[in-house]
């Protein structure tokens, strides 16, 4: 969290190396009393925990099961079963949790491999572009040899191995870091990422969800939108719209545009939260003002359908255009339709087909089918447009579009723009029929073929 590096210097001047080598486990405690005259607080600790004068101590509140740092300070005296600390915040009160952070001293590994957003780092982070994975790994191994109980060095080794294209080895080191310090936010997040986005054989969505959630509970910002998405999409566990909306809300308030857009969708659809179109529009607009492209698309849809606003083809086109210019496939399709039919913009078949082709080339099945229909409606036996229609219907049909499969089957059956082929016609009708396309089912009955 805050002020770790600045307070570490004081801590290291007080603690001896022998004390550092004994243990680097965090020491948990509870603030049990305060002295209004001195501004000091008494913190009770349990067991054989060792605390030394000058160590960094953090105060936390618990809100809805989530930990929030309230202030930081240092230990000023130690007694049996307790210590006295001063904090830099007036918000610290009796009853809050307190945590003494213990670290190994700065080693060669730190300036080579310090992880961005690591609250346990003792130097400025090394950005990915500046990381030398092999040199960092070698330095981390040397540090681990000297301080085998310092979780930071295992975390940094995991980061170096991950950057060196060794995800399984990285996972093993991250797990060692967690074994030493279970609530290590950046390690929880990085380990969850490898279990979620890593090679297929390493993916474990249940584990990823557990680690993302714990990192989010510890306040690790990058985990918030991911755990929200996993809860919304039932990945690694049951679908939980209420939890998703809560996580998205926290991240949205912190300015995360993905989460703002996702929260807007929750408000629009009543997912885990009371439906509120006004709030949905607010968050869509906020995400759009942060240049988040899917929010442009959603605002286009909002004005296209008149959701909480007066329907406006022109405003819909304006928002879709912004997203289309940023390579958003669905918006390219919508812009193509707008030009093709003159909705919110001048009618232009040339521009319409151009934008539809962009969307189709990106894999948009409806765009492929729309282009095919355009050529089919204008085709005859002489102008070659039926041939073009067949080409585009084939692309859309191969992409699983049931309507295109039916249309391609019909072209095969009639020999339009393609050689007549009853077997191929039946094959494409059957594919569409199995997707529930009723007209294809009727054609198969007429052709005395099953599906």
At 214-240, the pLDDT tens digits run 999 999 999 999 999 999 999 999 999
**Same fold for the pair 4-101 and 377-446:** no
Q: What does the domain layout of the chain look like in residue ranges?
A: 4-101, 105-220, 377-446
- Of all residues in the chain, the percent with pLDDT exceeding 70 is 94
Q: How far lies 369's CA from each of 297, 378, 385, 405, in Å? A: 21, 14, 14, 10
Q: Which of the pair, 263 or 47, is modelled with greater confidence?
A: 263
Q: How many CB atoms within 10 Å of residue 91?
A: 10
Residue 9: is its pLDDT beyond 50? no
Give the angle 273-211-266 at the CA atoms, nearest 5°.
Answer: 15
At 288-322, the pLDDT tens digits run 999 999 999 999 999 999 999 999 999 999 999 99
Residue 16: is its pLDDT beyond 80? no
Residue 20: is its pLDDT beyond 80? no
d(CA 248, CA 268): 14
CATH of domain 377-446: 1.25.40.10
- Of all residues in the chain, the percent with pLDDT exceeding 90 is 83
Structure tokens at 334: 């919508």
d(CA 203, CA 201): 6
Question: How does the average pLDDT of the chain come out, rounded?
Answer: 92
Structure tokens at 87: 């904090």
Q: Strand, helix or coil at 168?
A: helix
Per-residue pLDDT, 11: 36
Structure tokens at 58: 């953090």
State phi, psi for 449 to the nearest 5 degrees: -125, 145
Using CB atoms within 10 Å of the CB of residue 448, give its burial: 0 to 12 exposed, 13 to 18 middle, 19+ buried: exposed
Q: How confident is the model at residue 121 (pLDDT cuts 50, 70, 90)?
A: very high
Structure tokens at 311: 């329907």
For 4-101, which CATH class? Answer: mainly beta
Secondary structure tally for the chain: helices H, strands E? 21, 6
Residue 363: is its pLDDT beyond 90? yes
Q: Which of the pair, 263 or 62, is modelled with greater confidence?
A: 263
d(CA 260, CA 181): 32
Task: Tell me whether strands 40-45 and 56-63 are parallel, antiparallel or unpaired.
Answer: unpaired
Q: How confident is the model at residue 21 (pLDDT cuts 50, 70, 90)?
A: very low
DSSP-derived letter for residue 37 is: T
Architecture of domain 105-220: Alpha Horseshoe (1.25)
Per-residue pLDDT, 69: 86
Q: How confident is the model at residue 6 (pLDDT cuts 50, 70, 90)?
A: very low
For the chain, helix, strand, coil in percent to 5 are 55, 10, 30
Per-residue pLDDT, 24: 66
């Amino acid at each position: 969290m805050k002020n770790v590096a600045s307070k570490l210097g004081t801590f290291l001047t007080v603690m001896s190396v022998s004390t550092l080598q004994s243990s680097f486990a965090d020491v948990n405690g509870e603030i049990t009393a305060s002295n209004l005259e001195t501004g000091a607080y008494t913190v009770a600790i349990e067991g054989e925990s060792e605390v030394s004068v000058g160590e960094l101590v953090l105060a936390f509140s618990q809100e809805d099961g989530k930990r929030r740092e309230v202030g930081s300070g240092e230990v000023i005296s130690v007694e049996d079963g307790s210590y006295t600390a001063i904090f830099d915040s007036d918000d610290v009160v009796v009853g809050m949790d307190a945590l003494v952070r213990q670290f190994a001293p700065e080693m060669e590994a730190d300036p080579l491999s310090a992880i961005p957003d690591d609250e346990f780092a003792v130097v400025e982070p090394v950005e990915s572009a500046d990381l030398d994975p092999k040199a960092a790994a070698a330095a981390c191994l040397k540090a681990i040899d000297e301080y085998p109980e310092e979780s930071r060095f295992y975390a940094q080794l995991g980061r170096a191995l991950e950057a060196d294209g060794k995800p399984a080895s990285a996972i093993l080191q991250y797990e060692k870091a967690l074994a030493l310090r279970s609530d290590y936010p950046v390690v929880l997040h990085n380990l969850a990422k490898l279990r979620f986005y890593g090679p297929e054989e390493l993916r474990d969505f249940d584990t990823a969800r557990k680690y993302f959630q714990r990192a989010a509970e510890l306040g690790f910002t990058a985990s918030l939108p991911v755990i929200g998405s996993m809860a919304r999409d039932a990945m690694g566990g049951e679908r939980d719209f209420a939890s998703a909306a809560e996580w998205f809300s926290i991240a949205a308030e912190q300015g995360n545009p993905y989460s703002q857009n996702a929260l807007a969708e929750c408000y629009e659809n009543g997912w885990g939260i009371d439906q509120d179109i006004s709030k949905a529009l607010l968050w869509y607009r906020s995400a759009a003002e942060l240049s988040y492209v899917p929010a442009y698309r959603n605002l286009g849809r909002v004005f296209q359908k008149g959701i909480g606003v007066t329907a406006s083809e022109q405003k819909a086109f304006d928002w879709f255009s912004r997203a289309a210019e940023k390579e958003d496939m669905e918006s390219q399709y919508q812009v193509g339709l707008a030009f093709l039919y003159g909705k919110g913009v001048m009618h232009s078949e040339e521009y319409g087909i151009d934008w539809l082709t962009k969307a189709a080339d990106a894999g948009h099945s409806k765009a492929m089918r729309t282009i095919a229909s355009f050529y089919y409606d204008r085709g005859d036996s002489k102008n070659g447009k039926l041939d073009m229609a067949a080409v585009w219907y084939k692309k859309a049909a191969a992409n699983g579009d049931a309507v295109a499969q039916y249309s391609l089957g019909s072209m095969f059956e009639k020999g339009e723009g393609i050689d007549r082929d009853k077997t191929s016609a039946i094959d494409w009708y059957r594919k569409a029929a199995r997707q529930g396309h009723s007209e294809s089912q009727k054609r198969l009955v007429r052709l005395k073929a099953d599906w």
